[in-house]
């Protein structure tokens, strides 16, 4: 099954924005209409961007009774920070799901099960056999991760390439969704090491990545960007 990334379209507010458009139709000048739209943005916020997963699959992790399990795979590293990345992302993505009313299998239970299996979670089929109440598997595969600016020990900049895939229970022989994230943070200028500690910057970057991954599954405001 060939799956490509999506070009997302903004979804208008179901009631507020329709009201604004009707009001604009009754205004005789473009200036007046523009002012009304700007006022609407101030009062209601910009229209939300729909979840990429929902747009593509026509399914929703937020549907009542649906539960997901999150698995993260990260590159092996020699230091403790690299070794902990998969568990950090797993926990943080799960936490953001809960904040947006997406039910998930407890990340600690998942981490314990993986540890008991020698660090190998196996296959989607094996995972669904273990967590029988999970309807979807969200697999976060980190191909690259760094937060130190190359050849510049006094600067921090996060760079990652991550593939997010979804498998549905009873359909674990193929993916139903895939999206690749190429992350650079911050985009404009790297952070100077004398302004923030290495630990604090790394945590901030992991938080940014977790949000960027999780929002593939729930609608969000366009201003929720990553500078």
Question: For 20-35, what is each residue's pLDDT tens digit?
Answer: 445 455 444 545 555 5
pLDDT, tens only, 49-75? 999 999 999 999 999 999 999 999 987
pLDDT class of 82 with cuts at 50, 70, 90: low
For residues 63 and 35, state if they share a domain: no
12 has pLDDT over 90: no
pLDDT class of 174 with cuts at 50, 70, 90: confident
Instruction: Say which residue, 204 or 48, is predicted with more confidence.
Output: 204
For residues 43 and 89, state if they share a domain: no
Decide if 183 contacts 159 (C-beta within 8 A). Answer: yes
For residues 60 and 147, state if they share a domain: yes
Tell me, what's the pLDDT at 84?
86
The CA-based diameter of the chain, rounded to the nearest angstrom, is 70
What range does the domain containing 179 cover? Answer: 52-217
pLDDT, tens only, 107-145? 999 999 998 988 888 899 999 999 999 999 999 999 999
Tell me, what's the pLDDT at 25?
54
* DSSP state letter for 169: T
Instruction: Say which residue, 224 or 208, is predicted with more confidence.
Output: 208
For residues 16 and 112, state if they share a domain: no
182 has pLDDT over 70: yes
For residues 40 and 144, state if they share a domain: no
Number of domains into which the chain is organized: 2
- Where do the DSSP E strands lie in 154-205? 155-168, 177-185, 191-192
Decide if 166 contacts 191 (C-beta within 8 A). Answer: no
For residues 79 and 127, state if they share a domain: yes
Tell me, what's the pLDDT at 203?
95
Q: What 3-state class would DSSP assign to 135?
A: coil
Phi, psi of 114 (to 5 degrees): -65, -45
**Contacting residues for 23 by C-beta, under 8 A, at least 6 apart:** 36
For residues 82 and 192, state if they share a domain: yes
């Amino acid at each position: 099954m060939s799956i490509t990334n999506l070009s997302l379209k903004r979804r208008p507010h179901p009631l507020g924005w329709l009201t604004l458009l009707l009001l604009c139709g009754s205004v005789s000048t473009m200036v007046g209409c523009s002012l009304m739209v700007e006022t609407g943005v101030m009062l209601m916020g910009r229209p939300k961007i729909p979840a990429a997963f929902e747009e593509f699959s026509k399914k929703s992790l937020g549907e009542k009774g649906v539960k997901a399990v999150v698995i993260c795979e990260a590159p092996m590293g020699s230091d403790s920070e690299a070794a902990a990345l998969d568990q950090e992302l797993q926990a943080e993505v799960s936490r953001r799901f809960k904040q947006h009313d997406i039910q998930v299998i407890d990340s600690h239970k998942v981490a314990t099960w993986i540890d008991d299996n020698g660090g190998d979670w196996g296959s989607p089929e094996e995972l669904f056999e273990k967590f029988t109440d999970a309807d979807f598997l969200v697999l976060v595969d980190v191909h690259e991760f760094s937060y130190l600016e190359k050849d510049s020990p006094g600067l921090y900049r996060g760079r990652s390439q991550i593939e997010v895939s979804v498998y549905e229970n009873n359909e674990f022989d193929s993916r139903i969704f895939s999206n690749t994230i190429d992350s650079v943070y911050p985009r404009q200028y790297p952070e100077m090491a004398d302004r923030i500690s290495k630990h604090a910057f790394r945590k901030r970057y992991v938080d940014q990545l977790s949000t960027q991954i999780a929002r593939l599954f729930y609608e969000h405001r366009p201003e929720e960007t990553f500078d």
